[in-house]
């Protein structure tokens, strides 16, 4: 008697290099990256991280990058999987909210004198969230940081304090209340991650402590108490951070177009290039009392 047997087949898929409609190899990103600059900042790295992630996840089921990060964060034998998933996620996230601007790219790269330049103390900037029609995000930022000026200063100075690869994140704090089923978001924070560090486990990586020390050195007079509040917050179990915006600090992102002394100019250009609507769309529902109309 012949019996038919069913062969169980398992299909594995490899990760493909992420792509965005606004990022094109032939034209760069207006006001931020030249063609060569975008190649270094995005295409070369995205291709490399994807290739490495595929090499370490061969013959495994494809999962979202965020899932891979969460599942492998504390497994030493899966360190490389975590690293490349996190690197790819961070890079993709940071590029997703950049739209470019009408500003011209520098014709000459800044020289050493840029380091001695007196910081501008202007209270107004271009491309502010409210002027772009993002009132809900504006209210959340003012509630958390005091003003858009203070938010911008903390955001860009935090990134400028990173000497190598890393990211500066705007995150929303998610916490559990006495009701286990109730999860709310009450405040926004600035967080630095380093190398392959992830905003999802930044408290375990000591990011807040490192950021606090950097802010004291780099941003004297600004609201470092917001960072101190974040340090206190991570002491409580059940607290998580939801990323809204990321700024790339890697020299690969700014050296080609801005030169050795041009990181501050790069960061100013990043600010002008942020698509605040994308950031606002990521903003979860906050507690009504915390974010009343200003």
pLDDT in tens, 245-260: 999 999 999 999 999 9
What confidence score (pLDDT) does residue 225 get?
44
76 and 179 inside one domain:
no
83 and 168 inside one domain:
no
228 and 169 inside one domain:
yes
Q: Is residue 210 part of a domain?
A: yes
Residue pLDDT, tens place only, 62-102: 899 999 999 998 899 999 999 999 999 999 999 999 999 99
Q: Exposure of 259 by Cβ count < 10 A (0-12 exposed, 13-18 middle, 19+ buried)? A: middle
Q: Is residue 233 part of a domain?
A: yes
Residue pLDDT, tens place only, 130-169: 999 999 999 999 999 999 999 999 999 999 999 999 999 9
Comparing 106 with 12, the larger pLDDT belongs to 106
236 and 275 inside one domain:
yes
For the cut 60, the answer to whether the pLDDT of residue 5 exceeds it is no
What confidence score (pLDDT) does residue 127 get?
92
What confidence score (pLDDT) does residue 44 get?
98
**d(C-alpha 24, C-alpha 27), whole Å:** 6
DSSP characters for 170-237?
A: EEEEEEE-SSTT-EEEEEEEEEEEETT--GGGTTTTTHHHHHHHHHHHH-TTS-THHHHHHHHHTTST
Q: For residue 3, what pLDDT band results from cuts at 50, 70 and 90?
A: very low
Question: For the residues 228-239, what does the mean pLDDT come to?
Answer: 51
For the cut 70, the answer to whether the pLDDT of residue 244 exceeds it is yes
What confidence score (pLDDT) does residue 125 get?
78
189 and 249 inside one domain:
yes
Q: Is residue 191 part of a domain?
A: yes
Q: Is residue 1 part of a domain?
A: no
Residue pLDDT, tens place only, 17-70: 999 999 999 999 999 999 999 999 999 999 999 999 999 998 888 899 999 999
70 and 205 inside one domain:
no
51 and 170 inside one domain:
no
**d(C-alpha 27, C-alpha 93), whole Å:** 21
For the cut 60, the answer to whether the pLDDT of residue 222 exceeds it is no
218 and 258 inside one domain:
yes
Q: Is residue 294 part of a domain?
A: no
Q: Domain of residue 44: give its range.
A: 35-96
Q: Is residue 9 part of a domain?
A: no
For the cut 80, the answer to whether the pLDDT of residue 293 exceeds it is no
Q: Is residue 289 part of a domain?
A: no
Q: Which of 43, 77, 96 is the last residue of a domain?
A: 96
Q: For residue 106, what pLDDT band results from cuts at 50, 70 and 90?
A: confident
CA distance to 72, 142, 248, per residue, from 65 (Å):
11, 32, 18
- Can you give the CATH number for the domain in which 216 is found? 3.55.40.20
139 and 277 inside one domain:
yes
Q: Which of 96, 118, 143 is the last residue of a domain?
A: 96
Q: Which of 46, 80, 96 is the last residue of a domain?
A: 96
67 and 180 inside one domain:
no
With a pLDDT cut of 70, the percent of the chain lying above it is: 73
The pTM of the whole model exceeds 0.75: yes
Tally of domains in the chain: 2
273 and 143 inside one domain:
yes
Average pLDDT, the chain: 82
For the cut 50, the answer to whether the pLDDT of residue 212 exceeds it is no
Q: Is 100 strand, coil or helix?
A: coil
Burial 97-132 (b: 16+ CB within 10 A, else e): bbbbbeeebeeeebeeebeeeeeeeeeeeebbbeeb
Q: Is residue 84 part of a domain?
A: yes
145 and 88 inside one domain:
no
């Amino acid at each position: 008697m012949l019996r038919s047997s069913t062969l169980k087949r398992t299909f594995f898929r490899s990760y493909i290099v992420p792509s965005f409609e606004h990022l094109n190899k032939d034209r760069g990103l207006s006001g931020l990256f030249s063609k060569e600059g975008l190649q270094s900042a995005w295409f070369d790295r995205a291709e490399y991280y994807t290739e490495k992630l595929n090499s370490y996840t061969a013959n495994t089921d494809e999962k979202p990058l965020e899932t891979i990060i969460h599942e492998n964060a504390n497994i030493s034998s899966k360190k490389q999987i975590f690293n490349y998933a996190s690197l790819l996620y961070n890079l993709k996230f940071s590029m997703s909210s950049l739209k470019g601007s009408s500003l011209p790219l520098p014709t000459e790269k800044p020289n050493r004198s840029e380091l001695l330049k007196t910081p501008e103390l202007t209270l107004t900037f271009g491309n502010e969230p409210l002027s772009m029609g993002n009132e809900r995000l504006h209210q959340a930022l003012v509630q958390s940081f005091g003003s858009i000026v203070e938010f911008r200063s903390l955001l860009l100075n935090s990134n400028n304090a990173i000497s190598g690869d890393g990211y500066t994140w705007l995150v929303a704090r998610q916490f559990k209340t006495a009701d286990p089923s109730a999860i709310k978001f009450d405040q926004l924070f600035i967080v630095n991650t380093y190398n392959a560090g992830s905003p999802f486990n930044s408290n375990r990586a000591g990011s807040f402590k490192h950021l606090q020390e950097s802010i004291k050195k780099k941003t004297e007079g600004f609201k470092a108490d917001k960072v101190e509040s974040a340090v206190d917050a991570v002491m409580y179990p059940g607290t998580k951070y939801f990323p809204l915006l990321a700024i790339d600090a890697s020299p690969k992102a700014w050296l080609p177009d801005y030169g050795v002394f041009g990181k501050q100019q790069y960061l100013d250009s990043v600010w002008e290039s942020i698509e605040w609507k994308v950031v606002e769309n990521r903003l979860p529902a906050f507690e009504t009392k915390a974010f009343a109309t200003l």
